[in-house]
Chains A and B, each alone.
Chain A
Amino acid sequence: MVFAYIANLLALAGIYGIVGISLNVAFGYTGLANLGHAALFGIGAYVSALLALSLGLPFWAALLVAGLFAAFIGWLLAWPTARLRGDYLALATLGFGFIVESVFKNWMDVTRGPLGIPGIPKPELFGFVFASTESYLLVVAFFLAITYFVVKRVVDSPFGRVLKAIREDELAAQSLGKHTHRYKALALALSGFFAGIAGSLFAHYITFIDPSSFTIFETILAFSIVIIGGMGSVEGALIGAALLTFLPEPLRFIGFPSAIIGPARQLIYAGLLIAIILKRPEGIRGEYAFGLGEKHAKSKQA
Chain B
Amino acid sequence: MALEQLIVNGLIAGAIYALMASGFSLVYNVLKFLHVAHGAIYVVGAFAGWWLARVVGVPLPAAIVGALVLSIIAGVLVDFVAYRPIRKKGEAALLMISFGVFIFVQSLVLLFFGADVKSYGLPIERGLDVAGAIITPLQISLIAISLVTMAALHVFLKFTKAGKAIRAVADDAEVARVVGISPERTILVTFILSSLLAGVAGVLVGMEQNIEHAMGLSAVISALTAAVIGGIGNVPAAVPGGFLLGIVENVGIFWLPSGWKAGISFALLIIFLFFRPKGLFGGKTRTV
Chain A residues within CB distance 8 Å of chain B: 31, 33, 80, 83-88, 90-92, 94-96, 98-99, 102-103, 105-106, 113, 216-217, 220, 223-224, 227, 259-260, 262-264, 266-267, 269-271, 273-274, 277-278, 281, 289-292
Q: How far is the CA of A102 from the CA of B225 in the complex (A)?
A: 16
- Contact at B274–A227, with CB atoms within 8 Å? no
Q: How far is the CA of A262 from the CA of B89 in the complex (A)?
A: 31
Question: Chain B, 245-288, contact with A by CB distance < 8 Å: what is the 0/1 string?
Answer: 00000000000010110110011011001100100000000111
Q: How far is the CA of A95 from the CA of B228 in the complex (A)?
A: 12
Chain A contacts for B260, CB-based, 8 A: 102, 106
Distance from B262 Cβ to chain A, minimum over Cβ atoms (Å): 6
- Contact at B287–A278, with CB atoms within 8 Å? no
- Contact at A270–B103, with CB atoms within 8 Å? yes
B132 interface residue per 8 A CB criterion: no
Number of interface residues of B (CB under 8 A): 48
- Contact at A87–B33, with CB atoms within 8 Å? yes
Q: How far is the CA of A283 from the CA of B280 in the complex (A)?
A: 40
Chain A contacts for B100, CB-based, 8 A: 220, 224, 270-271, 273-274, 277
Chain A contacts for B86, CB-based, 8 A: 277-278, 281
Which partner residue on chain A sits nearest B103 by CB separation? A270
Q: How far is the CA of A80 from the CA of B270 in the complex (A)?
A: 9
Once A80-B273, A80-B274, A86-B91 are accepted as A-B contacts, the answer to whether A266 and B107 lie under 8 Å apart by CB is yes
Chain B contacts for A291, CB-based, 8 A: 89-90, 92-93
Chain B contacts for A217, CB-based, 8 A: 103
Q: How far is the CA of A12 from the CA of B146 in the complex (A)?
A: 46
Which partner residue on chain A sits nearest B258 by CB separation? A106
B97 interface residue per 8 A CB criterion: yes
Distance from B228 Cβ to chain A, minimum over Cβ atoms (Å): 7
B211 interface residue per 8 A CB criterion: no
Distance from A8 Cβ to chain B, minimum over Cβ atoms (Å): 23
Which of B93, B217, B257, B260 has the largest number of chain A CB atoms within 10 A? B93
Which partner residue on chain A sits nearest B85 by CB separation? A278
Q: List 13 A-B contacts (CB under 8 A).
A: A31-B92, A84-B287, A90-B95, A91-B34, A95-B267, A98-B262, A99-B270, A102-B263, A102-B266, A113-B259, A274-B97, A274-B104, A278-B86
- Contact at B97–A83, with CB atoms within 8 Å? no
- Contact at A277–B224, with CB atoms within 8 Å? no
Distance from B74 Cβ to chain A, minimum over Cβ atoms (Å): 15
Distance from B39 Cβ to chain A, minimum over Cβ atoms (Å): 11
Partner of B97, one of A84, A95, A260, A278: A278
Chain B residues within CB distance 8 Å of chain A: 28, 32-34, 82, 85-86, 89-93, 95-97, 99-104, 106-108, 110-111, 114-115, 217, 221, 224-225, 228, 257, 259-260, 262-263, 266-267, 269-270, 273-274, 277, 286-288
Closest 3 CB pairs of A and B: A102-B263, A291-B90, A270-B103
Chain A contacts for B32, CB-based, 8 A: 87
- Contact at B287–A91, with CB atoms within 8 Å? no
- Contact at B89–A88, with CB atoms within 8 Å? no
Which partner residue on chain B sits nearest A98 by CB separation? B266
Chain B contacts for A31, CB-based, 8 A: 92
Which partner residue on chain A sits nearest B264 by CB separation? A102
Chain A contacts for B273, CB-based, 8 A: 80, 84, 88, 91-92, 95
Which partner residue on chain A sits nearest B273 by CB separation? A92
Q: How far is the CA of A293 from the CA of B201 in the complex (A)?
A: 40
Q: How far is the CA of A104 from the CA of B274 in the complex (A)?
A: 24
Partner of B274, one of A83, A86, A224: A83
Which partner residue on chain B sits nearest A114 by CB separation? B259
Chain A contacts for B266, CB-based, 8 A: 95-96, 98-99, 102
Q: How far is the CA of A264 from the CA of B267 in the complex (A)?
A: 34
Q: How far is the CA of A290 from the CA of B33 in the complex (A)?
A: 14
Distance from A113 Cβ to chain B, minimum over Cβ atoms (Å): 8
- Contact at B286–A87, with CB atoms within 8 Å? yes
Q: How far is the CA of A167 from the CA of B101 in the complex (A)?
A: 25
Distance from B34 Cβ to chain A, minimum over Cβ atoms (Å): 6
Distance from B103 Cβ to chain A, minimum over Cβ atoms (Å): 4
Once A85-B288, A88-B286, A91-B224 are accepted as A-B contacts, the answer to whether A102 and B262 lie under 8 Å apart by CB is yes
Distance from B188 Cβ to chain A, minimum over Cβ atoms (Å): 19
Chain B contacts for A269, CB-based, 8 A: 103
Once A105-B259, A267-B111 are accepted as A-B contacts, the answer to whether A91 and B93 lie under 8 Å apart by CB is no
- Contact at B34–A87, with CB atoms within 8 Å? yes
Chain A contacts for B103, CB-based, 8 A: 217, 220, 266, 269-270
- Contact at B224–A99, with CB atoms within 8 Å? no
- Contact at B287–A223, with CB atoms within 8 Å? no
Chain B contacts for A273, CB-based, 8 A: 96-97, 99-100
Partner of B110, one of A223, A263, A274: A263
Distance from B288 Cβ to chain A, minimum over Cβ atoms (Å): 6
Q: How far is the CA of A289 from the CA of B88 in the complex (A)?
A: 12
Q: How far is the CA of A244 from the CA of B3 in the complex (A)?
A: 48
- Contact at A267–B108, with CB atoms within 8 Å? yes
Chain B contacts for A259, CB-based, 8 A: 114-115
Q: How far is the CA of A31 from the CA of B91 in the complex (A)?
A: 12
Once A91-B269, A92-B273 are accepted as A-B contacts, the answer to whether A264 and B91 lie under 8 Å apart by CB is no
Distance from A78 Cβ to chain B, minimum over Cβ atoms (Å): 14
Chain A contacts for B111, CB-based, 8 A: 260, 263-264, 267
Chain B contacts for A270, CB-based, 8 A: 100-104, 107
